[in-house]
Structure formats: C-alpha cells, structure tokens
Amino acid sequence: MTLAVGIIAASLASAPAPARADIVWDHWQQAESLRASGNKDEAVPHWKFLANHYASAGEWENAALFNGNLAAYYDTLGDYDQAISYYESENEYWVKAGKDWGAVKLQRADQIRTTVELYRQDRNETTVQQLALPKNSQLAKFEPTYGTYLGIYSEQDPKVGNIFTKMETVYGKKHAIYLAYAHWGQGFPATYAKRAKDAGGALQIAWEPDDGLDPVTDGTYLRKWAQDAKAAGIPIFLRFAGEMNGAWVKWHGNPAQYIAKFRMLHDVFAAEAPNVAMVWSPGDVPANDIDPYYPGDAYVDWVGVSLYIEPYENGDPSLPSMISTSSVERLTRLYNTYSDRKPLMLSETGVPHYAHSAGEDFTEWAKLNLQRLYEIMPYKYPRLKAITYFNVDQKMENAKNDYSLSTSSEIQNYYSKLIANPYLLSKVTDAAKPTDRIGYVPVDANHQAFTKKTKLIPFVKIPDVYIGKVEYILNGQVIASQTDLPYGLELRAGDVPEGSVIQIRVYNKAGKQTALRTFGLSSQVSVEIDGNEQKFEQAPVIVKGSTLTPLRAIFEAMGATVDYEAATRTVTAKKGSTTLRLTLDQKTVYVNGKAVQLDEPAQLVNGYTLAPARFVGETFGGKVAWDGTSRTVTITTK
C-alpha cells in the first residue's frame, strides 16, 4: 500500500492538470524542487497552500497527498501533535476519494499519540452497571452484568496442555473460557468440552470450514454436532468461520453467502442447543472489510475479534517496528460500531515477549501491554466482556513470536498478578458479577468522587514507547513515584478531601518529562449501619466541619417513620416512644418535646434533607463512630 501511494504521488506530482491556476502550479513546482534538493523545511509552506487549495476544491486525492507530505515531515521532526493532525486529515481525504489507503496513516497517528487516561475502582454497582449494559439494557446469552471473563488457549502450553484443571495451579486462578479449534466435517470436540466442564469452565470453539462455505449445509452432520454440543452441558461460545474479512481464509470473499450460512447455523443451534452462543468474530484488520459480513443483530449473540500486536509486522525485522502500537486503540472502531448492541470479546489475542525472527527479548514491552490488555481495556471498554489469550510459542512459524505465558517465569508471575483481580471473572453464568462487587470507571467530570478507598490505574502511552517513571501529584504534592510495572496507586478517602486535584506526570527512559495531565478527584463520606454500607441518592456533605447525612434514608434504615410538611418545612420522625421534630435551617430541634441544639441546622440539598450525622445516628438509640481514614460514619443499633 505504501508503494502504491508513492507511485500515485509521483504520478500526480509530475503531471498537474493544465487548467490549474498559475499560482497553484507555481507552488507545486517550487515544492517539488525543494523536496528534490532535500530542503523540506522550505517546501512546507507550499505543501500547506496546496493541501488547503485541493481540500477546498474537493480534489481529494491531491489533498490527501499533500497532507501526507506534511504529516511525514512533522513526524520526522518529532512534532507529533501536528503530525497526528495531518495524518488524520490525510485519511479523511483518502476516504472521500473512495480509497482505504489512509488506514495505515491512522495507525501511525495512534503510535505517536501521547495518551494519559485515569481509571479507578468504584464501589457503586449502579454506576458500574450503567456503563457495562447495552443500550436496551438486555444482557446477551451468558453475558456478565459487569466484569470480563478470563479465557485462554492452553493446548500448546507445556505446563497445562488441554488438561484445563491445571490452570489454577499454574496461574493461580481458574479461567472461565477455554479455547478449542474444530473443523467442519469433523465431530464435536467432546473431549475438550468434558475437560472444560471438569475445570468448571465454558468452551469457545473456533469452528473452521477449511474447504470454504459451500459444504456448510443443514443436514444430519450439523444436527448431530449441535445435539452433541447440547449434551456437553456447559456454556459454549461458537465462533464460526472467524476472520472472514481476511483474504487468508477460504471463507472470505462472498459476504452474502457468509451471512446466509451464519444465519442458518444460528437457527439450527437455537433449536437444537440453547447452551450455544453464536459469536461473530472478524479480525481487526482489514478494518474496511468487516461490516459487510455482519449477519445482523438477530443472529449474533456476541461480537468477537482476533486482535494481536507484535514488535515486527508479520515477524519481519526488515519492516518498520510496530512496538508503538497497542491493542487499546485497535479495538476502538469495532467497539464503537457494535458495543451498543452486543457484548464484545477478544476471541484471540496475545502479546509476545520474544521475537524469534530477530532474536530479541521484549519482556518489558510485553508487561506494559499485558497490563493494558487486562486492566486498561476492560475499564476503557466496559462492554468488553471476555478476553481469550493465545498462549502459544510460535517459534519460527507464522509471525515467529513467543506469546506463551509459561516459557518466561517473569511473564508467568506477572500474568498471575494481573488476573488475580476479581473483575476478571472465572465462571461463565448469566448476569455474572465480580465477587467483590467492585467495578472501574474513568476519572472524568462524571466519575470524580469515591468512598472509603480506591485504586487508580493510569493508561499511559508515549511515542518513546518505554516509560521511565510515573509520578502521582495530589494537590501539588508528589505522593508516589513508580518505575516498575504494573502502574497503579491506592488512595484512602481521608487523604482526598472534596475538590482535590491529582496529576499524572510521565517521564521517558532518558528522564525527560513527556506528559502531564490533571484530573479532578474527591472522596465522599460513607455511612454504615450495623456493618451494611448505605446507598444514597444524595451523598453526605461536609458543612463547616460538620458531616451532614441524609436524614430520611438513615432514619428509615433504623426502623423509624418519617413525615415532611412542606408548608412549615418541618420533619417529624417516630420510632417507639421517641418523637423528633425539626425545622429546616434551624439549629433547635425537639426530641420528645425537649429542645436540643445542633452544631449545624438540617438543610435541603438537591431536594433531600441532610442533618448532622451524630445527631441522626444517636436520636433513636444508635452508637455513632467516625473513621477519618476512610471518612466513614458507623452507626451501631444492635
């Protein structure tokens, strides 16, 4: 593709249309002359003129070419912000010209883009679930409410093989999904299904029609295969004819036929094997050939994708390095297209730690990208509900990479550390959730406040690839500095008052600061009654040093009845022989007719009555305590 673009550029540059105005032709000639003499600095103003001229004239190919010249120029200078802008414009104009030649330029833009994002733990299930649900709020077959299934292809792992019960011993955790390959014409892989069942897992089956789609018909073979799938008695994710958008498979090239076959299979399994979820799974490239193969929402349960990164494209060290590419950006297009409708899975994915073709070790790069795979991607893409790792040392075959987790003790231990997170689920069930009920949200304007404690996970990506140090600065003070992976920081609520600011500062290996980003972050007061954390529509607030908590919610949790008289702005609460009466914005309240003075009056906040926490908790006989470390009010009534 790069060669084709170069040929077209040379052709267009050498033969401008005679009808062009003289000024345009002059700029063109001067630009070419300067470039030919190696004086690109002085060619830049001419390229900018020509890029703008052809864009305004709607001559998209020429507009793309001159934007490409500018992108390459600024990329070489290390002026990455300008380079990214021109790469994106170049792609836009190629698309308008009906070409897909800009895809590689978008990839380069992602490679040189500096990214600093921040994600944190969140204990509010409502918030987490809202991010992870589809638009219609209806979960698909076997879809977790939130969280991401752990999956793996382990047959070529010397420590596991296809004895899936070994996974917990080797990697410290059971996996939810085990991957097996099957071929049209062969029987259902019952042995793999049994071994998955023995391990308490589900099975993903990559079912491949090696002779193309013509033999794929409804008949005795298919029905028996489906019946055997049902008899397996476990959840099965059926990935039929994956990577159909790639010319390297025999079932590529006829989207209409593919869709018809996929729909036929869906209908057969719906009738014969309800324990089978249909997975439509293209490769992430070529991206422009994906959508024509989509069978339709009614026929797809999950959308999958094969998505790999590697140090050298196709394992060839003579090609430009690919180490600046991460999996995170490569999922964006597919996610944005389908996640509103279907849960997504990485049907196959991997991060090599050794390139056999070059004889190079990439352990640090693998660790950086394994954290992105298992911590950043599930948080950034909450509809990503399953990840299946391709656990294979390819040696000198295919891309010649070592994706294996167990051939390196450092990678094996690192992987085990990452997957210990309960957010990565070990069991496939409908509406599954993490055992600790903790999810993750982006730290943004809508998700700044947390209760008790949280863990921050930064997604940091710089053009230099390798990161020297990450600093965390809270309210102007450096509170932590990390040079080792995985990156992350735990914070207690008591350390983060309302209105706090946290900054992430990034250095490259040479010690140069390459990025700084600021995020708003606050903690909120939490309330526990007899050990149960309370959920409020209006969070407690601090007013002049006093903690005000929702009055009605706490009183009712303690068994009291509450009435509010709007005309007098009076609250009356009763429990047993105790009656409380208070008026908003007045410090004097009455308990069984006796006046009591509050430090701060009860007040209306966003339509909810809040009053001092100690008074609220003690009025009906509770004992109240305050934990400043976690900013938690505890009320004990028993």
Catalytic sites, residue numbers: 243, 348
Query: What tokens were used for 293?
Result: 């193969």
Q: Dihedral sign, CA of 196, 201, 202, 208?
A: negative
The long-range contacts involving 12-20, CB below 8 angstroms and separated by at least 24 positions, are 12/61, 12/62, 12/65, 13/65
Any idea which residue has 């949280």 for tokens? 454
DSSP 573-619: EEETTEEEEEETT-SEEEETTEEEE-SS--EEETTEEEEEHHHHHHH
605 exposure class (CB count in 10 Å sphere: 0-12, 13-18, 19+): middle
At 40 the three-state DSSP class reads helix
Residue 486 preceded by cis peptide, ω within 30: yes
Give 506-561 as a 3 state SS string.
Answer: EEECCCCEEEEEEEEEEEECEEEECCEECCCCCCCEEECCEEEEEHHHHHHHCCCE
DSSP annotation of 283 reads B
The whole-angstrom separation of Cα 492 and Cα 513 is 27
Whether the Cβ atoms of residue 341 and residue 297 lie closer than 8 Å to each other: yes
The whole-angstrom separation of Cα 3 and Cα 217 is 42
Any idea which residue has 């959920």 for tokens? 535
284: nearest Cα among 341, 327, 237, 338: 327
The whole-angstrom separation of Cα 604 and Cα 287 is 53
Residue 98: count of CB within 10 angstroms of its CB = 8
300: nearest Cα among 275, 272, 281, 274: 281
The whole-angstrom separation of Cα 451 and Cα 449 is 7
The whole-angstrom separation of Cα 575 and Cα 554 is 12
The whole-angstrom separation of Cα 548 and Cα 615 is 9
* Total count of residues recorded for the chain: 638
* 453-461 vs 115-122, strand pairing mode: antiparallel
DSSP annotation of 164 reads G
Query: What tokens were used for 294?
Result: 């989509």
Q: First and final CA of the chain: distance in angstroms?
A: 73
Whether the Cβ atoms of residue 342 and residue 332 lie closer than 8 Å to each other: no
Residue 215 preceded by cis peptide, ω within 30: no
SS3 content of the chain, % helix, strand, coil (to 5): 35, 30, 40
At 2 the three-state DSSP class reads helix
Q: How far is CA 102 from CA 20, 55, 538, in A?
A: 26, 16, 49
Exposure string for 475-502, b = 16+ CB within 10 A, e = fewer? eeeeeeeeeebbbbbebebeebeeebeb
Query: What tokens were used for 39?
Result: 């004086």
The whole-angstrom separation of Cα 569 and Cα 602 is 11
